[in-house]
Chain A
Amino acid sequence: MKTSCCSGSTRVVWILALVLLVVHQDWWWWDDRTLVFGFLPIGLFYHGLFSLAAAAVWAAAVKFAWPHHLERWADELEDDDAAESQPPAPASQP
């Protein structure tokens, strides 16, 4: 999405998503069996937090990188009834 890749906040969102991709590997606690809160192995605790971080990054994406232009584009041919009466164009036509 060309329009969604230029603003500073959008770039930050995608950088955060890339950081999550990297830190998922979690090699630093690979063999650590410490129990967090007395019952949760630290590897599982970390990845539980990772899931929450993923939700936070996607919330930021929704806030700062939302493709508003795409929604407008989808609605341009809003005349759904007309579209309904005409099936999708045959493959041989553009």
Chain B
Amino acid sequence: MSTALFLAQAGGGKPLTALWIILGYLALLMLLGGAASLFFRGTSKDYFVASRSIGPFLLLMSVFGTTMTGFALVGSTAKSFELGIGVYGLMASWSGLVHSAVFFLVGIRLWAIGKRYNYMTQVQFFRDRFQSEFLGYVLFAILVALVVPYLLVGIIAACKTIQPITAGMFPETFAGVPHPVKAGVMMFKGAIPPWLTALVICGVVLFYVFFGGIRSAAWANTFQTLVFMVMGVVTFTLIAKAMGGLAAASEKVLEVSPKHAGREGMIGQLHFLSYIFIPLSVGMFPHLFQHWLTARSAKTFRLTVIAHPVFIAIVWIPCVLIGMWAAGLAAAGELSVPNANAVLGRMVASLVESHVLTGLLTAGILAAIMSSLDSQFVCLGTMFTNDVVVRLTGPGRFTDRQLVWLARGFVVFVVAISYALSMALLTTNVFNLGVWCFSGFAALFPLVFAALYWKRTTRAGAIACILTTAAVWLVLILDALVWIPAENPAERIFGHIHRGEYLIKGLDVMPVAAMFLASVVSLVVVSLATKPLPAATIDKFFEPRAAGGSGDPS
């Protein structure tokens, strides 16, 4: 059934304006991604790293779009609703400082090494740097295991975004589709079912990454980033206007829920400090590594390094304010919110009541979600091709053209598996798992930093770091999500739950702090206790010391 016919048959429900806008956005995205694929040069190097030809603006937008997920709009508002304005310092301003530091200190250096030795994946770098096949395969498994839940969160978030928006639109077509039940009442009757949303989202992303690889992802990300940044600001402006202006909205919060305008009682000092570790995760994201490799030159990074903190502020400050205002309205009994993640949608629905804005905002949320999904799909396809198939069959087994088709096959495979997993896990709370994935990547950051800056790092030290991190991660995640005591569910063996977050007992810090510490200690101790790598290997990855100063462009 064609989309138009399908929509035409949706009679009797609520207006389809929002859905048409979302479909229009998806069509534009396909058009743009398709146009980008016209520039595809037919080589594997172009498919995997866009022939290292991406300029400053596209790199900025694709890196920003990739690091910001749907959480940037929905999650930031929800967290502010729960914890107040401290959420900005907790997540956004730390990210602005730390992300750019990682781009500057790690990204540029990895780009240089990747260009010099023609790497396509992170695993290729680590395998050569530590001269270990075993390390390569272990790291491959861990990176895939950490990316997949992160990817599933995106798909499931898209489904859960579309459900309330389209509720009541198709009362007959989707009459028999089961939806979540709350207080004995089925919610979202007549909504587009998750299986269809996920199919469309995966299909659209697959369409453009299949043909154009990372280049199409970069173009699409640029468009998506613009969409979600603009929509965040537009939504903020309209909500502020509906609340009687900026000052009236904030003063109401001071009257009825002043704690949301400060941090006392909402966030602890060590809790606040320990969030510094989370943004280090970008140093180990395999999909971001791949975007770094697309840069035309090291200078291409300059705009990204400088503008990234400003972009974060543009997206996050309006969302944090909306969350704070929603807390004020809820405290005054003027807003009913079923759960924190619904805050943004509820604010739009109750204050603006515009189908057009609802459609545009939903397109913005989908843009934020999809701008991470596409890079993750391409990245996993690239890793399966280069780190497994080419590695096992040996170089020269496939022609360059065959490599491109192999990668495309793997992208289809990854999309299909992701689709199936997202449907199987639709009703479970994978969102918690997504947060833990960030912690896992962040705890592996010492590995990449040591690989680039500490010549004394050994193979055994690197393997110990990976295995220790994995072990500590597993123990803490089991403690947080599985070993829940019946008598006191907030208290665990190693931690406790504070306002929905698992914190380490005694110190009240994020679990990533403990993982990071274990990662550093194992890497340093085992490296110092084992034999250094041969000088030839070290020389390959550390450029000779130049005579000039840092500012010397000669």
Contacts and interface: CB of A to CB of B under 8 A. Distances in A.
Given A25-B272, A51-B312, A80-B118, A33 B254 contact: yes
Contact of A44 (B251, B273, B317): B317
B432 to A, nearest CB: 26
Given A51-B309, A55-B309, A59-B306, A6 B550 contact: yes
Nearest to A93: B131
B298 A67 contact: yes
Given A33-B262, A54-B93, A58-B100, 17 more contacts: A3-B549, A6-B550, A9-B551, A10-B550, A10-B551, A25-B273, A38-B250, A39-B250, A41-B262, A48-B317, A59-B306, A65-B550, A67-B298, A69-B552, A73-B116, A76-B116, A89-B128
Given A51-B93, A52-B313, A62-B305, A35 B273 contact: no
Interface in B98-132: 100-101, 104-105, 108-109, 111-113, 115-119, 124, 127-128, 131-132
Interface in B289-329: 297-299, 302, 305-310, 312-313, 317, 320-321, 324
Contacts of B313: 48, 51-52
Interface in A6-60: 6-7, 9-10, 17, 20-21, 24-27, 30-33, 35, 37-41, 43-44, 47-48, 50-52, 54-55, 57-59
Interface of B: 45, 85-86, 88-89, 92-94, 96-97, 100-101, 104-105, 108-109, 111-113, 115-119, 124, 127-128, 131-133, 136, 245-247, 249-251, 254, 258, 261-264, 269, 272-273, 276, 297-299, 302, 305-310, 312-313, 317, 320-321, 324, 390, 395-396, 453, 534, 536-537, 540, 543-546, 548-554
Secondary structure of the B side of the interface? helix
A77 B540 CA distance: 12
A44 B321 contact: yes
Contacts of A86: 118, 395
Contacts of A66: 302, 550-551, 553
A41 B250 contact: yes
Contact of B307 (A25, A55, A73): A55
Which has the most chain A C-beta neighbours within 10 Å: B101, B136, B321, B536?
Answer: B101
B246 A39 contact: yes
B299 A33 contact: no
Contact of B262 (A27, A43, A58, A72): A43
Interface of A: 1-7, 9-10, 17, 20-21, 24-27, 30-33, 35, 37-41, 43-44, 47-48, 50-52, 54-55, 57-59, 61-77, 80, 83-84, 86-89, 91-92, 94
B503 to A, nearest CB: 17
Contacts of A77: 116-117
B456 to A, nearest CB: 15
A3 B548 CA distance: 7
Given A2-B545, A10-B550, A77-B116, A87 B133 contact: no
A64 B551 CA distance: 5
20 contacts: A17-B97, A17-B101, A24-B89, A24-B93, A33-B262, A41-B324, A48-B88, A48-B93, A51-B92, A54-B97, A62-B104, A62-B302, A70-B108, A71-B112, A73-B112, A80-B118, A86-B395, A88-B128, A94-B131, A94-B537
B97 A20 contact: yes
Nearest to B100: A58
B250 to A, nearest CB: 4
Given A41-B262, A74-B298, A47 B88 contact: yes
A31 B249 CA distance: 20
Contacts of A74: 111-113, 115-116, 298
A47 B306 contact: no
Contacts of B543: 69-70, 73
Contacts of B320: 44
B88 A30 contact: no
Which has the most chain B C-beta neighbours within 10 Å: A20, A59, A61, A74?
Answer: A74
Contact of B550 (A5, A35, A40, A57): A5
Nearest to B135: A91
Contact of A71 (B105, B132, B269, B299): B299
Nearest to A73: B543
A55 B536 contact: no
Nearest to A17: B101
A51 B310 contact: yes
B481 to A, nearest CB: 29
Given A26-B89, A33-B262, A58-B104, A91 B546 contact: no
B235 to A, nearest CB: 16
Contacts of A38: 246-247, 250-251
B131 A43 contact: no
B86 A43 contact: yes
Nearest to B258: A33
A10 to B, nearest CB: 5
Contact of B92 (A5, A32, A47): A47
